[in-house]
Amino acid sequence: MPGHVIVVGAGPAGLSFARALSQSRVRVTLIERQPLNALAEPARDGRDIALTHKSVRTLRDLGVWPLIPAADIHRLRQAQVLNGARPFALSLGPGLRATEGLGVLVSNHLIRRALFEGVVGQPNVEIVAGAAVERVVVSAAGAEVLVGGTRFTGDLLVAADARLSATRDQLGIGAQIQPLARTMLVCRVRHARPHDQIATEWFDHDRTVAMLPLDPGRSSLVLTLREPEARALAKMEVADLRRVFDRYTALRWGEIEAEERPFAYPLTITYADSFATARAALIGDAAVGMHPVTAHGFNFGLAGAVRLADLVRGAGDVGDRRLLARYAIAHRAATWPLYQATRMLVGLFTDERPLARVTREVVLRLGAIAPARRGLERLLEGRARTVRA
């Protein structure tokens, strides 16, 4: 009996899960609040996603990588970390793959569009768009979802809606939820000095500045600021942003010219207490909502979606509790160490007390020692101890 899976949320994780089941007999119903045209042609949201080599291979295996225009795939050769005005920079990357670098950068909306194109028309997938979930109920017998007065029943419910997941709440699964009182602003910019395909993470006083390399002389500027400062900047006209960006970047990349007004994202990190319960599982941000500093939110979401799909594909009962337990154990082992390491990294590098400033300079210099640098490179690649599902 192939089984029926109901997925709440047709974002990257939900779409990846459905696509990973394309060659199976498992039926999938994708339920998404956004209308169908918004899924087919996602609006650009300013976010450029750092994909690891593993994620690129996964997207190739799913058959969607060729759907992303080659001109919009930007190589990430190296990364460097800066601490305030200190001249020392910790460089990461060449030791991983001398020819490949750390990975690539691709706009979030292009990845979403490619995944949707890979799923739409898939014979075993039904997409219910423009519909809000009213109620979810799971029991040992199966899963039930009420949408606009229509009842959908299945053997497994997969929550893939958001890091503040309403579905997770209805399932009674708790989560560590930590609002950070910071807002991330993202904006594509042009600059006078070359970026040499190097991503820079600069922990300055009371703010974080990241420059993600795109085309020559063009990057994605990512600012993490206190909320009042971020709100004021987001309201500024594009022409007025230059003087602010020049001040924030200290002209490290020369004069900065904004191409657009910034997109604003208040930051909250989350980690679900459990990734599975009776007849239900969590993937994507509903399971793990990462801080963007190590750029693993999408990579974790993709890996978890494929991990669960691999188990479901050959199952006699797609909602079997032992199967879901295997998924939960494997995904926790893959995500928990990097989630905690990222939390500690962000905590240290946003602490403005004098001792913390000294400590992070020491940490950066220790990071230049080969064994420690390799560990940091593994962090950037998203590699950690993995339990096979």
Of the candidates 186, 212, 188, 389, the residue with the CA atom closest to the CA atom of residue 307: 389
The pLDDT confidence band at residue 362, using thresholds 50, 70 and 90, is: low
Report the C-alpha gap between 344 and 363 in whole angstroms.
12
Ranking 24-33, 104-113, 235-244, 335-344 by mean pLDDT, the lowest is 335-344
Rounded mean pLDDT of 27-31? 98
SS3 of residue 153 by DSSP: strand
Mean pLDDT, rounded, of the chain: 88
Residue 334 exposed, middle or buried by CB count within 10 Å (0-12, 13-18, 19+)? buried
Query: What are 277's strand-pairing partners?
Result: 280
Is 151 inside any structural domain?
Answer: yes
Is 101 inside any structural domain?
Answer: no
Residue pLDDT, tens place only, 60-77 = 999 999 999 999 999 999
Number of domains in the chain: 1
Residue pLDDT, tens place only, 41-66 = 999 999 999 999 999 999 999 999 99
Residue 5 pLDDT > 90, yes or no?
yes
Kindly write down the DSSP assignment for every residue of 339-368, as one continuous string: HHHHHHHHHHHT--SHHHHHHHHHHHHHHT
Residue 274 DSSP label = -
Is 249 inside any structural domain?
Answer: no
Is 47 inside any structural domain?
Answer: yes
pTM: 0.90
SS3 of residue 384 by DSSP: coil
Query: Which are the contacts of 388, defined by CB distance < 8 A and separation ≥ 6?
Result: 330
Rounded mean pLDDT of 226-234? 93
State which residues form the domain around 347. Answer: 4-73+106-177+268-354
SS3 of residue 40 by DSSP: helix
CATH number of the domain residue 131 falls in = 3.50.50.60
Residue 372 pLDDT > 60, yes or no?
no
Is 188 inside any structural domain?
Answer: no
Virtual torsion, Cα 311, 332, 16, 143, nearest 10 deg: 60
SS3 of residue 35 by DSSP: coil
The residue among 254 and 350 whose pLDDT is bigger is 254
Is 99 inside any structural domain?
Answer: no
Rounded mean pLDDT of 246-253? 93
